[in-house]
Homo-oligomer: A and B are copies of this chain.
């Protein structure tokens, strides 16, 4: 019953949650792993700062190496964030035989391969359930739950900030700017919200999910990214009128051996299970050849939900320690990824166009669609009195991304079109 000793790097929101759960659930954890789990040392920026939890001052340090190189420590829990320096710490920890649990999506998206390889060489575990979708155990689900299946599609609402903003815009008819300001006041969005609203955070998470789902080496640079800052309240109003919701979706698809991964504002049919995921909640929809449609829903962030995933990983490390199999449960070998070309990426599209309000405009526009063999599912034309022009809304049938790009390029120079206001992918 020798205690398992943990070095905690970081005592912000999530780190505090880890301390709380380890203390509060100590008895339950003991009954599962047979040993006490002890937080031995904690890296902080300021030892004297007042905190909402009681941590023995002797455990606090501002020197990461004191933790990394402490021979008593079995497991490093990394919740400090950052990339290069953090990677250096964790590589050193692994080389010293310490196991790693991390919530760091940026690090895993950019350097996951190197960390996992180093872990394997040193027979150490690296677990990172908390890096995607907070409390939802989606990483174990992809690695273990669907190990027998061939996953063909993953769609994720994996960023709570943008889902909060889009939900508010949809429910209240408010503009992007107003809701963003409100979200910042409530602490749901950062002072500099770029990483969230421009889709980079979601792209990092989709890198991790698509890598595990398709068992191939996906890099962040493989993900096409578009954020929500240009989503107009008019787009959302039209979406609702047509029976859709606008969501920032990460979409990873596989066809034969080719994949595509993107993050983009998407019109989702209201009857699709992911359309009703609202507010800061996250959800990951997974389609497998055999299992069909599944969806996993829960809190995507927050002190305790995220800490739940971290401590669950910690339990897995300790169980492995007990039976001496750390570093052996790896997800198998990963292939090189082959990306789909724009010709191979296919979906429906929604377009909103501002056009001259005169005869023959619709004919000119539909002719362009016909030229690039994009067929149309529905068309709405209506005058916009304010602008002395008309608005045309089109939903296409399935079309290749390449064809749609050509259509949009043609529209940019078509005299009857004042502006291509929006182009969205359509799902469900």
Contacts and interface: CB of A to CB of B under 8 A. Distances in A.
A144 interface: yes
Contact of A295 (B148, B292, B298): B298
A135 B292 contact: yes
Given A148-B308, A323-B325, A291 B296 contact: no
A333 interface: yes
A93 B255 CA distance: 41
A141 B296 CA distance: 11
B137 A332 contact: no
Contact of A298 (B29, B293, B312, B331): B293
Contact of A312 (B24, B136, B148, B310): B148
A71 interface: no
A379 interface: no
Contacts of A273: 276, 297
Task: Among A135, A136, A328, find the residue whose CB has the most chain B CB atoms closer than 10 A.
Answer: A135
A359 B44 CA distance: 72
A304 B293 CA distance: 12
A322 B322 CA distance: 17
B290 A307 contact: yes
A148 B31 CA distance: 11
A17 interface: yes
Contact of A316 (B144, B289, B314): B144
B294 A136 contact: yes
Contacts of A302: 292
Interface in A274-306: 276, 281, 288-299, 302, 304-305
Contacts of A294: 135-136, 296-299
A225 interface: no
A98 to B, nearest CB: 20
A149 B332 contact: no
A291 B312 CA distance: 11
A416 interface: no
Given A292-B304, A297-B273, A137 B148 contact: no
A310 B146 CA distance: 10
Interface in A1-54: 17, 21, 24-25, 28-29, 31-34
A21 B292 CA distance: 13
Nearest to A295: B297
Contacts of A148: 21, 25, 29, 307-312, 314-315
A140 interface: yes
A150 interface: yes
A290 B17 contact: yes
B308 A149 contact: yes
A204 to B, nearest CB: 21
A291 B299 contact: yes
24 contacts: A21-B148, A24-B150, A24-B289, A31-B215, A34-B332, A135-B290, A137-B146, A140-B145, A144-B144, A146-B312, A147-B312, A148-B310, A149-B308, A273-B276, A276-B276, A281-B293, A288-B308, A291-B299, A291-B308, A293-B298, A295-B297, A296-B297, A297-B297, A323-B329
| Pairs A-B, 7 closest by C-beta atoms | A137-B145, A148-B311, A294-B298, A32-B332, A135-B291, A290-B304, A295-B297
Given A144-B315, A145-B312, A288-B308, 8 more contacts: A31-B215, A137-B141, A144-B316, A145-B309, A149-B312, A290-B307, A292-B298, A296-B296
